Structure 1
Amino acid sequence: MSRNANLAKIHIAKKQLAMDDDTYRAMLLAHGGVSSSKDLTLIGAAKVLAHLERCGFKPKASGGGKRPNAAAANRGLLGKIEAQLADARRPWSYGHGMAKKMFNIDKIDWLNAEQLGKIIAALSIDAKRRAAQVARASKP
């Protein structure tokens, strides 16, 4: 993760945990070795973030990207793909990557109905594979 992303997360955590400035700076000094977040190294920022998560900070997951805008004929297929991606906890960028790898087309919304069907089939196979792995892992 980039330095700016880490700093943003630290400041979001500070706000989420309602830390006053004195407490925040004391925590930075104790866990990052600095009194200002701008002086944190990547390792120091990771240590501070780990401490903030132990204190109750819960980073929110990103929205997973914007749903593609496709032709009316393909909206049902995209809805199925969206459901499969959500079930696997994968973002739309994963679907775009599948389109690129399978058909050399950059965006999933540029695929035709036949290609979308193949994406659905691939996601179904992946779901069955994940279900089998969970079943094997849960057996004593």
Structure 2
Amino acid sequence: METFGAYGPVLASVALFAVVVMLFSPLSALQKGKQGLAPGAEPAADYSDLAYRLHRVFENGTDTLSIFLATAGIAVLAGASPFWINLLAALTLASRLFMIFVHVAAIGSPHNGLRSIAYVVGWVCMLAMAILGLVALL
């Protein structure tokens, strides 16, 4: 594992985010079950409803996890700067965890609030990892 030793933080960030996303699957399912929704059903789009917010956290997480894994993985395999990739991965993880907190706690509005800012921060970090990975490949 010495080959990837310098990238320990990025690998840990991806693994931790995967675990967080996985945890929201049963949390979402339990809350939807309390409302009598069938497994796999999507709650009504009501930001004041905890089941909806938990469902969206899980859905958003699964959408983002693949992009996070791809951008981080490419950057690591390409040998991009460990300092920058580790930093960007940690910032991505922090922004996603903050976004989850804001979403679950229903802080602000569903559009253009803290959640949107956290999303953009994570998106920019993943884009930067992809660019650094491409630069390292070329």
Q: TM-score scaled to structure 2, two decimals?
A: 0.35
Q: TM-score scaled to structure 1, two decimals?
A: 0.35
Structure with higher helix content: 2
Question: Which of structures 1 and 2 has the bigger CA Rg?
Answer: 1
